[in-house]
Structure 1
Amino acid sequence: MDDTVKIRLLPQDTTLEAARIRFSILRRLGFAGRARAAIEASDGLREVAESGIHPRHPDYNEDMVRLAALRLAVGDLLFHKCHPGVEVKS
């Protein structure tokens, strides 16, 4: 069995020209712009997760929904190390 890891710089559904345009835009954004975009994407994903948790657990207050989303993001082991005794379901 071959244990080498293959890293694709170009996704299979992306043309070379589209990738060039994307990388050009990312270069123009600079570090701060790329960091801001990553944070906005992360915030958006967290909001989507929270919007799915609330209907399943209507009894959860805002803090419990936030904790349930955090548990989804970091996994049970790390969540319970950081929040011992806190029981929330996602």
Structure 2
Amino acid sequence: MLVLFLLILVLAGACVLAVRGVRAEARAAADPLVVPESFFAPQSLEGVLCGQLLDGDITRRQYLRSMEGLAARDEERHPLVVPWHLGAGEE
């Protein structure tokens, strides 16, 4: 039983030393992460409007009116076609 206990202690110590070594290497080799500003730029008009709303550049009413216009434009360009011949749950 004593041999098993000593074996467990040795393995635990080895694990602790290994983790410390890996962390030290990671800290030494880690370069600061450089993220380009374009990564955070909005990718759509909806994103631009949301950013303007959060920054306080436009009011809630202006945001809603703009989103309403976008929805109308999208409905005109890409109308939603529902297959009416299918019942609920049928394919």
TM-score, structure 1 normalization = 0.33
TM-score, structure 2 normalization = 0.32
- Greater C-alpha Rg: 2
Tell which has more relative contact order, 1 or 2 (C-alpha 8 A, sep 6+).
Answer: 1
